[in-house]
Amino acid sequence: MSRRLPVILLLVLLPLWLAASYGARYGFMEDARWVGLCVDEASRWECQVRSNLGLMIHFAVLGWGAMAAAVIGFVVPGRAGWWLAVLALVLGFPALALYNTTLAVFAVVIAGLRLVRAPGVV
């Protein structure tokens, strides 16, 4: 396996993940059809998922998770730190799309800095 393959996969999959996050935001959270349906039938499983996602947004779960992974990944050396930075991006991109931008922007920047850091530098 090439050393560049994980980076190439990351550069391909992260924009798709961001697009899926915006799809969830505009197609599921802000769509008037879902709002009206969940007012009438709150016990549907889709409405429960929407409600739980709303609670995750309210309590900034994705933003705090991304920030924790980015900070820990920044100080952990080697492959473990690199994978924690990837996890921070995976959590940070949906947080950017789902209203947790204050925390997520710092987490994405810290994770990005960790990913481009030269190997062996602590």
Give 85's contacts (C-beta < 8 A, 6+ positions apart): 69, 70, 73, 74, 110, 111, 112, 114, 115
Q: What is the pTM of this model?
A: 0.89
pLDDT in tens, 13-34: 999 999 999 999 999 899 899 8
Amino acid code (one letter) for 116: V
Residue 42 backbone phi and psi in degrees, to 5: -70, -15
d(Cα 43, Cα 41) in Å, to the nearest integer? Answer: 6
pLDDT in tens, 96-109: 999 989 999 999 99
Which helix H or strand E contains 96, and what residues bound it?
Answer: helix 78-97
d(Cα 115, Cα 73) in Å, to the nearest integer? Answer: 9
- The structural domains of the chain, with segments of one domain joined by +, span 5-116
Cα end-to-end span (Å), the chain = 26
d(Cα 101, Cα 40) in Å, to the nearest integer? Answer: 31
At 64, the pLDDT band (50, 70, 90 cuts) reads very high
Report yes or no: 94 and 107 within 8 Å, Cβ to Cβ.
no
